[in-house]
A and B are shown apart, each in its own frame.
Chain A
C-alpha cells in the first residue's frame, strides 16, 4: 500500500466533494433551513396557541345541568348560556326525543350566533359529563390551546362549586390542575414537557441525521466511481496506483467528509442549545450516556464503511450515474425503513420488528440507536448487533473490492452478476495491479485478490 498516494486521493476526494453544491446544501443549508423552519413554526404556533384576544364571549349548552357559575374566576372571557328566543323551554319531564330535539335546535342557534358574531365560540357539556368529562368546543378558524385550558378551568370551577362543604379538599385545590412531576426512572431527575418530547424524538432525529450523512457521502463515492468510468479516467488511474489504494483513498476521504458533516450538524445543535432554553430542555431528555455515544460513533464508522462499500460496488458495476442511482435507491430505502416504521419502536422497542431491524445488517445501526434511545437493551443484543455489522462490513468490503477491480475498466457494459459469480467461483479476476512479485507466470497460481 502506498500511503502517500492514498493521502493524495483522500485529499482530492474530500476537497472536491466538499465544494459540491449538494454537499454544501446538505451540510450547511439543511441545518440552517431546519432551524429557521423550527423557529418560525414555534413563533407562529405559539402565538396562535396563546392568543385569546378573539375569544371574548363563549356560549355554553349545558346538557348535564352542571354549570352554576358564569364567572367563577379571574378569566377575561365572558361565559353565557346559549339561548334561542323562538325555542320553547324544555320541560322538566321532557322525553329523550324532545331533549335531543331541543338541544339540537339550541346547537343550531349557537352555531348561527357564532356566524353572526354574537358569540366567539361555544361548547356543549355532554349528558354524561360527570362520568366522561366530555365537552365539545366549537369556534370559527383555529381554536388555540389556551381556550381549551380556559374551558377546562371553567368546568373545574363548576365541579368545585358543587362539592359539599365538608369535603376534606379545599375548593381552591379542586379548581387547580393536578400537579404531576415526571422524573427519569434512573437518575430521578425532573423531566420537563420539552424533555419528555425530546426523549421520544431525539433518537429519531439522531438516526435521521446519521442516515443522511452516511447516504449523502456514500452516494458521492458511487457518483465519483461512475464518473471516472464514464470519463474513461480509470485506465490512467489504474496505471498510477493500485486499485486498493484508490479504494482506500476514496473511502477515507469521503468518510472524513461524512464526519465533517456530522460535526457541523452537532456544532449547530450545540450552538442552538447554548442560545435557546427550549432546545436545551428538549435535548436534556436524551437517554444516551457517554458510553452510548462512543458506541454510536463506532456504529457510524461501521455503517459508513458498509454503505460506502455497497455504493462503491454499485459504481463499479454500472455504466451510467442514473443507473447507479436506481440501485442506490433500493439500499437507501432499506436504511430508512426503521424510520418509516418508527411507530413500532414507540409502541414496543423490544417488539419483533424492532429486534429484526437490530440484527439485519443494513438496518442494524439505525435499529440499534432507535432502541437504545427508547429502552435499556441487554448487552448481548448490543454485542450481537455490532458483531453482525462488523462481519457484514468485512464481507461487503471484500466483495466490493472484487467488483471494483472487475468493473473499473468495463466501459459501456455493466458488470453482470454472472460474470461476478464466475470470477468469485474461479477464485481470481482478470484485473490485477502492480506488485513487486517476480515472474508473471506465477500469477496463474494466485487465488486471492487482496494483497
Chain B
C-alpha cells in the first residue's frame, strides 16, 4: 500500500505507557497524515521519545493501539521507516560508505544498491570526498549529515527524526532541511521531534504537543497559533495609543519600539487600524495581529498556563 493510499501514516490511539508507577504517556492520541511534515513537541521528559519508541515498536504500550503504514508494525513495515534517534552515533573506526552500506542492507537493500545510493546521497550533502573516511575523522556536523543519509538511504515511506538539526551550523541546517523537503516532495511522510520552534513553524504542516505525558496541543500550525491569538494588535510607530477608542491597555515591548494594544470586547483590529490611519497625530510603521509564536505558545503551555488546546 502506498502512503498516499492510506488514511494515516501513523495512528496513535489512547496509548498509555508506564515505567513502574511513573506514567510516561497517558491516553495519548494523534494521527499523522500521509505525505505531511508532522511535528511533535514538548518539554524535556514530556514523553516524546517514549512515544516515538512505541511507534517504532522498540517499546510496547501498556494500553492503546498504534498503527504504522496501514497496520500494526511488522518487520517489513520497519524496512519502510527511516529513524534518526536523538541519541545517535555510528561505528567510529569504519569508513563512512561501509557503515552506510551495512545499515542499508539491514533495511533490506542489496549491497550494490546500498553502496550506490549511499555514494549518491553523500555527494548530495557535500560529503563526496569523505566516502572512504572513517567516521571518527569527520567533524560533528559531518557525522550528523551521515546520520541523516543513513536515515533516508533506503528511500523509506516514513521518516521519523528526533532533533534533526541539533549540533548543525546554519549552512548544514539548510542542507538537511532541503534534503527533508526533497524527500517530502517525493512523497515521504516526515515526523519531526524538535525544540527548535522556528523550524516547526517553517516546515511543519501539523503538530502535536505533549506535556507530562498528556496531549496539550494538536492541529495545524496555523490553527494552533490562531487558537492562542489574543484580541490585541502590535504596532510600531508614534502616537498616543491609549487614547484610541477601543484600546483597553497598552504594553510596551522591545525597548519601547513595539506596543501591544489590548482591545475591548467588540473592538476589531480593523477599527484600530482605521483610527490610527486617519488620526493626524499617529504615525504607523508596522501593524499586525498579536498572534503568538510557537515558542511563546510552547513556553505558555509547558509553563502550566496553557488552555485546554489538546483538541
Contacts and interface: CB of A to CB of B under 8 A. Distances in A.
A402 B149 CA distance: 32
A5 B107 CA distance: 9
B105 A433 contact: no
A5 B106 CA distance: 6
Interface stretch (A56-64, A137-145, A234-242, A297-305): A234-242
Contact of A239 (B81, B87, B94): B81
B269 to A, nearest CB: 48
Interface string A219-250: 00000000110111101111111100000000
Contacts of B60: 430, 432, 440, 443
A8 B102 contact: yes
Residue among B59, B60, B61, B150 having the largest count of chain A Cβ atoms under 10 Å: B60
A234 to B, nearest CB: 9
A236 B63 contact: no
A411 interface: yes
A248 to B, nearest CB: 14
A428 to B, nearest CB: 9
Contact of B91 (A9, A233, A411, A432): A233
Contact of A433 (B57, B61, B88, B108): B57
Q: Which secondary structure dominates chain B's binding surface? A: loop
Contacts of B88: 232, 235-236
Residue among A12, A434, A441 having the largest count of chain B Cβ atoms under 10 Å: A434
B59 A432 contact: yes
A2 interface: yes
B87 A8 contact: no
B63 A237 contact: no
A266 interface: no
B128 interface: no
Contacts of B58: 235, 238-239, 409, 431-433
Contact of A233 (B62, B72, B90): B90
B62 A236 contact: no
A326 to B, nearest CB: 22
B106 A411 contact: no
Contacts of A91: none
Interface of A: 2, 4-5, 8-9, 12, 16, 227-228, 230-233, 235-242, 409, 411, 430-441, 443-444
Interface of B: 19, 56-66, 72-75, 77-79, 81, 83, 85, 87-92, 94, 102-103, 105-108, 150
28 contacts: A4-B108, A8-B102, A8-B106, A12-B102, A227-B91, A227-B92, A228-B91, A230-B89, A233-B90, A233-B91, A235-B58, A236-B83, A236-B88, A236-B150, A239-B56, A239-B81, A239-B83, A240-B78, A242-B75, A409-B58, A430-B59, A430-B60, A431-B59, A432-B57, A434-B73, A436-B75, A439-B65, A444-B62
